[in-house]
Amino acid sequence: MRIIVATNNKGKAKEFKEVLSDISVEVLTLKDIGMVSDPEENGETFAENARIKAMDVYEKLKAAGEEKDTIVMADDSGLCIDFLGGEPGVKSARFMGHSTPYNEKNRAILDLLKGARDGDRGASFVCHVCTVLPDGRVIDAESEMRGSIAEEAKGGEGFGYDPIFYVPEYGKTGGELTPEEKNAVSHRGKVLRKVREFLCREMNL
């Protein structure tokens, strides 16, 4: 059995490998297997977009007769900011354009929240993981990490919006956390542990 993580995001791929490191199954990314998959994410929810990404890879494997002994997992995630009515949410990767560097995106968000006081800076990272089993069955799971938007960007760890997301458990931003600290409380860490538990029970991994 192998797990293929349907992502082109290096930061996500690293966290999948870390959190799933203790199961006896190889965890591979699209890059590892030389597959290109970048379907249009035109869903309105994290769940819909995660399914679009997972099914694109599953269908490609199936067309090649390679879906056996393979579990496909895709992650759709994003930052939902209370003060912005939940934005950028499902559009987090596309906010200000896909290729705009994150230091610019983070600065723009800090500017948008300039008038927001402490109690108005609440935010959540949400992660939906869609898992497709070799027989085509689909399992959905979602978790979130609650925190707030920091006053300034800090730290060079993690990726994306981590430097502006204040994690109350540690009193630091996501950008200041070690990978172990982040995975212990993060949206992705939590949802992957749920899926891991399911796979160990149902698939005897």
Residue nearest to ligand ITT (CB): 160
Taking CB under 6 A as the rule, does residue 92 contact ligand ITT?
A: yes
Is 70 or 173 the residue whose CB approaches ligand ITT more closely?
A: 173
Active site residue 76: yes
Is 5 or 116 the residue whose CB approaches ligand ITT more closely?
A: 5
Residue of 110, 111, 146, 109 lying closest to 125 (CA atoms): 146
User: Which structure tokens are listed for 18?
Assistant: 């870390």
Q: Figure out which of the listed residues 77, 124, 143, 173 binds ligand ITT, where binding follows CB under 6 A.
A: 77
Residue of 197, 188, 193, 191 lying closest to 11 (CA atoms): 188
Kindly state the helix (H) or strand (E) to which residue 169 belongs, with its residue range: none
Task: Report the distance separating Cα 101 and Cα 66, nearest Å.
Answer: 36
Taking CB under 6 A as the rule, does residue 172 contact ligand ITT?
A: no
Residues of the chain by 3-state class (helix, strand, coil), percent to 5: 40, 25, 35
Is 50 or 199 the residue whose CB approaches ligand ITT more closely?
A: 50
Interface residues with ligand ITT (CB under 6 A)?
Answer: 7-9, 12, 41, 53, 75-79, 92-93, 125, 158-162, 174, 186, 188
Catalytic residues: 76
